[in-house]
Structure 1
Amino acid sequence: MKTRALTTLSIALLCAMPASAADFSDPTWPCIQRKVEALSPGLMWPVAIENPDLTPDVEAEVQDLVGYLTLRRLPLEEVQPRLDDFTAAHGTDPALIGHVFERAFTRLNSLRGRIIKGIGEYSLGQIDLAARIDAARSEMSAEMAKEAPDYDHVDKLEEQIDWDERIYTDRRTSLTYVCETPVLLEKRLFAIAQMLQAELPQ
């Protein structure tokens, strides 16, 4: 059962993390970064976001611009010319620029939410794998304690433990990158907000 107590291995993993590791009230959250499940656009945008009445053609251009703004491998400075073209064609009405931000926020915040959910599922998988390793070790110890151990069975258990530990370690190695992704998305959103706010009339 996924909500059972943490096994020896999973406790060891959590204890090995820095003291600043985050929300210990949620044992399925394995990251150093504090778990913030949902972001608020109000923290990034200074005014209420309106819903402008746009033609389908303009909305399509908004979506095209948002696609570039939210493309994580593309530095925002490389998106600036596209933003300049957009504002040259459609102006810098606060409702329109706010709408662009809202679309970008919705896209990245949704992606961020899916990643956070995936991290939780990833952590549960690690906990289950740790339980499997512990159970196999206990079974192997019990078998070896018998007067006539079944060495073939012991060999199979040892092979299973070696394989599971390799998987466990490989997954843990990739955890740093996985945990950084929600933070990087949040930073990208703040940068997008600042970039768009710079376009607003002073």
Structure 2
Amino acid sequence: MNGSIGIITALLLIWSGTAQAADPRYPDWPCIQAKVPEISLAAVWAGPSIDDVSSAWKDDAQVSALVERLATRRVPVEEAQKAITDFLSQSPDKARAGKLIFAGLFDSLNAQRATVLAGLERVTRKQREAADRVRADTAMLQTLQNASPPDQAKIDELNNKLLWEARIFDDRRRVVTFVCEVPTLIDQRLFALSRTIQQEME
């Protein structure tokens, strides 16, 4: 039984060592990567102003359908770039079409990022609550084990509960590590596609 406590304690130590927010402005941010709340327009777009198209991309059925496809991360970047090239090569107003596509991508991918960021912080709060429960149950288990005589049935029941809690806790921790990469991947996708749009507009 003490082996189980050791494993659980080690998990909690690993999590507490990585759960300290690097930036006090974002106490629930769990990633090593710095939290950037949204993509800066200037960081990804050096083309003409998109102020005149703003949300107009939503009113163009062809553009909005294309944007939806381009913003889907399972579509390879190379395939998305070719779709942009094909679309703009057939557009009678390449400059406006390019701005509409970019405006749509900028809105869509920023919204994706916001969802991912909120999800990561929500999981951090759940992990914090789970860690408190695991610590309380671990203390209770130690108390039961030190009792004289020990109630073996209760000890076994609580030990099984703790192992299950620890498994869920560790699974979440692993998922967070993977998902922390997603905002960067979204940034890279938007930058690559915006470059393609700008090259086609020139």
TM bucket normalised to smaller:
0.7 to 0.9
Q: What 5-or-longer segments of structure 2 have no aligned partner?
A: 1-8
User: Alpha-carbon deviation of 1:179?
Assistant: 0.9
Query: CA offset at residue 96 of structure 1?
Result: 3.2
Counterparts in 2 of 1:153 and 1:98: CA distance versus 1, 3 Å: same
The residue type paired with residue 22 of structure 2 is D
Tell me how large the CA RMSD over aligned residues is. Answer: 3.0
| Structure 1: runs of 5 or more not aligned | 1-6
2:100 corresponds to which letter in structure 1? H
- Give the partner amino acid of 2:193: I
Counterpart residue type for residue 13 of structure 1: W
Aligned-pair CA distance for 1:9: 5.7
In the aligned structure 2, how far is the partner of 1:56 from the partner of 1:36? 25
| Superposition pairs of residues 81-92 of structure 1, within 5 angstroms | 81-91=82-92
The aligned counterpart of 2:152 is 151
Q: Which residue is 2:29 aligned to? A: 29
What amino acid sits opposite 1:195 in the alignment?
Answer: T
Could you report, residue by residue, the CA deviation over 1:141-194 in whole angstroms, capped at 9, with x for unpaired residues?
Answer: 222333333322222111111111111122222222211111111110111111
Q: Residues 50 and 99 of structure 1 are in contact (CA less than 8 Å); yes or no, is this contact kept in structure 2?
A: no
What is the distance in 2 between the residues matched to 1:16 and 1:82? 41
Letter in 1 for 2:33: Q
Question: Which region of structure 1 is more displaced relative to structure 2, 83-92 or 158-167?
Answer: 83-92
Bigger drift between 71-80 and 159-168 goes to 71-80
Task: Give me the whole-angstrom Cα distance separating, in 2, the residues matched to 1:27 and 1:104.
Answer: 29
- 1:142 corresponds to 2:143: yes
- Partner of 1:118, secondary structure, is helix
Bigger shift: residues 174-183 or 70-79:
70-79
Q: CA deviation at 1:28?
A: 2.0
What whole-Å deviation, never above 9, does each CA across 1:8-35 have from its counterpart, x for those lacking one? 9656424258xxx963423422211111
Identity %: 31
Contact 1:105–1:189 (8 Å) recurs in 2: yes
One-letter identity of the residue aligned with 2:42: G
Structure 1: distance between partners of 2:191 and 2:41:
9
The structure carrying a bigger helix percent of its residues is: 2
CA shift in 2, pair 1:70/1:54, >3 Å:
closer
Name the SS of the counterpart of 1:159 in structure 2.
helix
Summarize the Cα distance change of 1:22–1:134 in structure 2 as closer, same or farther, 3 Å threshold: closer
Q: How does 1:64-79 map to 2 (within 5 A)?
A: 64-79=65-80
Check conservation: 1:8, 1:130, Cα contact below 8 A.
no
CA distance in 2, matches of 1:129, 1:58: 45
The size of the alignment, in residue pairs, is 192
Q: Do the aligned partners of residues 22 and 39 (structure 1) sit closer, same or farther apart at CA in structure 2, a change above 3 Å counting?
A: farther
- Matched to 1:15, the amino acid is G
Which position in structure 1 is the counterpart of 2:43? 43
Aligned pairs (5 A) from 1:85-104: 85-91=86-92, 93-104=94-105
Q: TM-score, normalised by structure 2?
A: 0.81
CA contact (8 A) 1:49 1:98 kept: yes
Contact 1:50 1:98 in 2 (8 A): no
Alpha-carbon spacing, 1:53–1:121, altered in 2? closer, same or farther (3 Å) = closer
Moved over 6 A (4+): 53-58
TM-score, normalization by structure 1? 0.81
